[in-house]
Amino acid sequence: MGTLEGKIAWVTGAGSGIGQAGAIALASEGATVVLTGRRKEPLDATSATIKAAGGKAVVKPGDMMKSSVVGRIAADIDKRFGRLDILVNNAGLNIGERDWGRLTPESADTVIHGNLSSAFYCVTASLPLMRRTKGGVMIHTASWAGLWPSSLSGAAYSAAKHGVVAMSHVINMEECVNGIRSCVFCPGEVATPILDKRPIPVSKEDRAKMVQSEDCGDLIRYIACLPPHVCINEVVISPTWNRGYVAQQQHTLAPKKKK
Ligand SMILES: NC(=O)c1ccc[n+]([C@@H]2O[C@H](COP(=O)([O-])OP(=O)(O)OC[C@H]3O[C@@H](n4cnc5c(N)ncnc54)[C@H](OP(=O)(O)O)[C@@H]3O)[C@@H](O)[C@H]2O)c1
């Protein structure tokens, strides 16, 4: 029997990348996983993978940028299962034209709304269910850019993900007395479809050296399987071949002398 047998997990952005890998990993431990994203087809594919391995999944498509939709999905979970044990608050996006030269009020809104407001909607919809059972674990996918702002990610994304980090820590400050644990997950570069939005294309070779979605799925499973008295507040991971560090070395380390 898996550690998460009988538990209900809600994973947003479950049709691809980190969310998909997290959903598969949680289902492999016995959790029933509710899969959300805007497009139904990728969610159906995740569900099929989970079911083919003997797991349990339910597809609930929806746009996390709409608070009414988020509230409706949480209400559906409550009606169907009467509980929510794990939230993987992972849906997020970025835009190609992210530099100050091309950012517009509308595109800034999209990024802030799609990474920060949406994350808040998910938390406010989930907390009442978790408070009722006096327990639950939340894992929010922020980013390396949520700790260290960068041009690579852009100002709007960096700002939104800093907000997600702050959001998660304050959940622990207030909800620890209700047995609720919040973990903010801050990955560096992970080889997922979000990289297709990068202004400078990322090569296949570079993607192969990055953290992979399955590495993140494993971590999500580990955090969700911890006993209720353990809270992992923040997790930072990055590729060993960290392209930011490698680029820095080119400017800071003297070239090796030829023998
Ligand atoms: N890959 C990286 O290098 C990296 C690094 C740090 C942090 N992150 C964060 O990791 C999270 C997952 O991204 P990923 O890397 O796995 O990329 P991804 O494959 O593009 O996954 C993002 C998922 O979120 C869903 N989504 C986006 N906006 C949504 C919305 N408004 N409502 C519902 N679902 C929405 C997308 O599905 P639909 O389009 O069908 O809605 C997609 O499945 C994001 O929060 C991202 O910012 C990624």
State the CB neighbour count (10 A cutoff) for residue 141.
Answer: 27
Alpha-carbon gap, residue 16 to 11, rounded angstroms: 11
Does the structure show a pLDDT above 80 at 255? no
Q: Which domains does the chain have, with CATH numbers?
A: 8-252 (3.40.50.720)
Q: For residue 36, which of 108, 3, 84 has the smallest C-alpha distance?
A: 84
pLDDT band at 171 (very low <50, low <70, confident <90, very high): very high
Q: Give the mean model confidence (pLDDT) for residues 55-73.
A: 98
Active site residue 222: no
> Is the CB of 19 inside a 6 Å radius of any atom of ligand 1?
yes
Q: What per-residue confidence (pLDDT) applies to 141?
A: 98
Q: Which atom of ligand 1 is nearest to the CA of 12?
A: 34
What is the whole-number distance in angstroms between the Cα of residue 158 and the centre of ligand 1? Answer: 15
Q: What per-residue confidence (pLDDT) applies to 131?
A: 98
Q: Closest Cα to atom 34, ligand 1: which residue?
A: 37
> Is the CB of 217 inside a 6 Å radius of any atom of ligand 1?
no
Does the structure show a pLDDT above 80 at 258? no
Alpha-carbon gap, residue 119 to 255, rounded angstroms: 45
Q: For residue 186, which of 115, 150, 247, 238 has the smallest C-alpha distance?
A: 238
Does the structure show a pLDDT above 80 at 5? yes
Q: How far is CA 180 from the centre of its chain?
A: 18
Q: For residue 18, which of 204, 158, 220 has the smallest C-alpha distance?
A: 220
Q: For residue 35, which of 52, 26, 23 has the smallest C-alpha distance?
A: 23
pTM: predicted TM-score of the whole model, two decimal places = 0.97
Give the tens place of pLDDT for each residue, 87-130. 999 999 999 999 999 999 999 999 999 999 999 999 999 999 99
Are 161 and 145 spatial neighbours (Cβ–Cβ below 8 Å)? yes
Q: What per-residue confidence (pLDDT) applies to 218?
A: 98
What is the whole-number distance in angstroms between the Cα of residue 4 and the centre of ligand 1? Answer: 24
225-247 per-residue burial string, b: 16 or more CB within 10 A, e: under 16: beeeeeebebbeebbeebbeeee
Residue 209's H or E segment, with its range, is: helix 204-209
